[in-house]
Every structure is written in structure tokens, then in C-alpha cells.
Amino acid sequence: MKNKVAYLSIAIIIIIAVTTIYSATTFYEGFQLRKKDVAFERAKVLQVVSENLNEDRTISGLFLGHQNIELEVLTGEHTGTIMTIRNPMGRMYNVHAKEGMEIIVSIYGDNGVIESLRVYTYQRSHVIYFLLGLFFIVLIGIGRLNGLKSIASLTFTGIMIIGFLIPSVIRGMNPIIAAIITVALSATVTFYLISGWTKKCFTAILGTVIGVSVAGTISYWAGKLAYLSGITMEKSEQLMYIADETDLQVKGLMFAAILIASLGAIMDVGMSMSSSIFELNSVNNKLTKKQLFTSGMNVGKDIIGTMANTLILAFTGGLLNIIIIFMAYKMPYHQLVNLDIISIEIIQALAGSIGIVLTVPITTAIATLMVKK
């Protein structure tokens, strides 16, 4: 019976993943905001014809000026095209081209004819692929079967975000509802792969979904009271342009982002608390519900400090550059703390942390009831 349930569950997960991928592929192929007039392709620097560079006085190793380089396009419809172009190098856009280096170029053209070709950025994907491969090797090498399960759950979560969440939001679905569905399905699949369909798994799922929902609810009402609509978020101008062309609801994106950002930490707490209660009961099943709950909360108190701190530090890390700028210019406190971007990040960090803290007693209470039932 257990094998049948396991096979059925895996089949359902695969069907959901394949259906999501197919739907997302169809959506992205048909979705286009404007006529495509620019392509980004790989190119190889054949030689540096000439250059006029001077090292920046402030930033060591940064060279300013310009280069004339000869390059060959390696991908796309213009593969094999060789051109000599000027590569301006400033502080904001700086690609120091060297012979044999692969870079990314932007090609502007019409009807197959190149109108202009510019250096865009460095070719970095090989570094990302290397680290991704190293991550998988370490995960499988140390975690073995559990490592494979982690990769499977991570892949499913990525599919849900890219294949379901983003297309649904662009199509006009409420971002908060789309995020809750994504969170619920991702948590369910992750916990199932870790421990199978058990009471412990079900408890962790419930605790996680409730904890994430609490974080989203708190952030929503806090944002409403603080008059934060989300239209002042980073890249909000581009998002509003997309909203003009689609049914995208920009206002809910900030709260959806909180749900997704806090999912990992809350999942960790949910499974930790669920496992603790079931393990305590297996060691001593004579413990009463009250004793079991108290013991679980003692474990949870140790978890709370580190996990809440982790989430706040994660949000703070994204603001580090902005905080340095504000402090360097000695921005007044009342101006700083009431800025939209600062308020959004603080609410995100605090709402997520509150969700983590409340997940401990919620999951502990559910696990206590489950284990004694």
C-alpha cells in the first residue's frame, strides 16, 4: 500500500512539473511586450587593435578610457560576423576586453542587417555553471540519497516560481494568492521527498503554510498602514510599464516577495519542530501533551534566535550599499526611516521574522496533537 501511495505521489509531482513547464514554455514563447530589435549574443575578442586607458585614482584596478577591438560573433543569426568596434570604459559600464576573451554584445539590427554592435558585459555563465555543478557534487557526495532529493525539491521549486508564479502574476492573478499556491506546493513536495507521506510531513506542511501566511498577512496590513503600495520598489518603473501592457497587479508584488523570501527559513523551522516532537515521543511516549509541547518549545526557543537573525541579515544585506550612502551623507533620522525603500525592507524583514517565531508554537501544537492522536 505504501509503495502504491509513493508511486502515485511521484507521478502526481511529475505531472504537475511537466504541465507547468509546458504551460510556461507556451506563455513565454507567445509573450512579448514590444518588437524585438536587439539581441544579446556571445562574442570572442580576436584582438585589441588600440586602447587609451588610465587607471582610476579611486578604485584600484579599474581602467577608464576606450578601446578599439576586433571581435567575432559566436551565437545567433549573425554567427561568424567579424567587426571592429569602439569599447568605451567608464565607471558604470566597464568591460576591459583582452585578446581571446569571450564577452556578451548587444546587436541592434533590422531584417538581418546589423545597425550597431556594442560591448554589453562579461561572459559569466561558465562561472555560474561551474558553481552549480560543484553545488550538486557536494550535495550528492555528502547527502547521498537525501542530496538527490534536495536537488529534486529545489528543481520543483524553481519550476513553480518560473513556470507558475511569474506567468500567473503577469496574466493578472493576485500575486499574494499565486505566491501562497507556490509556497504550499513547494513545501508539500519538499517535505514529501524528505520524509514521505507521514504525520510528521503533514505537520511540517501545515506549520510552514500557516507561518508563511502569517508573515504575508502581517506584511500586507503593515504595508497598508504605512501607505506602501509597492510601486516604489526597485525596478518599479519597468514593472509599471509591464502593467500597462498586461494585467500585472504591481501592488501585491511586495507581499508576494515576502512570502517567497521567508519560505526557506520557515520551512526549516517547520520541519525542525515537527521532527523534534515526533522524536521526543518515540523516545518517551509516556509524555503528556503538555510535557511534549513544553519540551518542543524549549527546542524551538534555541531555533528562533538564529533563524530570525538569519532572515533579518539577509534583508539587510540587500540594503547595505544604500545604507552606506545614506549614512555617508548624514541623512536625518526622520528622513531615513520613512523612506519607501527602507520601510519596505524593514517590514519585509520583521514580518518574515514574526512568521518564523510564530511557526514554532504553531507547528509544535499541531505536532503534539498529531503524535498523540
Give residue for cell 513547494: 186
What residues form DSSP beta bridges with 53? 65
Q: Are 277 and 300 in contact (CB under 8 A)?
A: no
Q: Are 103 and 123 in contact (CB under 8 A)?
A: yes
Q: Are 252 and 230 in contact (CB under 8 A)?
A: yes
DSSP helix/strand/coil, 336: helix
Beta strand 102-110 pairing with 82-89: unpaired
How far is 307 from 355, CA to CA, in rounded Å?
11
Burial of 91 (0-12, 13-18, 19+ CB in 10 A): exposed
Give the per-residue pLDDT at 78: 86
Q: Domains along the chain?
A: 38-123 (2.40.50), 144-371 (1.20.1640)
Beta strand 63-73 pairing with 113-122: unpaired
Residue 235 vs residues 31, 63, 138, 254: alpha-carbon distances, Å: 20, 29, 35, 12
For residue 335, the one-letter residue type is: Q
Q: Are 216 and 259 in contact (CB under 8 A)?
A: yes
How far is 26 from 152, CA to CA, in rounded Å?
23
Nearest to 43 by CA among 12, 8, 82, 92: 82
For residue 228, the one-letter residue type is: L
What is the Cα Rg of the chain in Å? Answer: 25
pTM of the full structure:
0.75
> Per-residue pLDDT tens for 186-244?
888 888 887 777 888 888 888 888 888 888 888 888 877 877 766 656 666 677 777 77
DSSP helix/strand/coil, 51: strand
Task: Evaluate the CA torsion angle 182, 184, 188, 191 in order and state its sign.
Answer: positive
Give residue for cell 571592429: 84
Task: Report the number of secondary-structure helices (H) and strands (E) in the chain.
Answer: 11, 5
Give the per-residue pLDDT at 33: 59
Give residue for cell 548587444: 106
How far is 155 from 151, CA to CA, in rounded Å?
6
For residue 311, the one-letter residue type is: L
Which residues does the chain have with pLDDT short of 70?
1-9, 29-36, 229-237, 308, 311, 315, 318
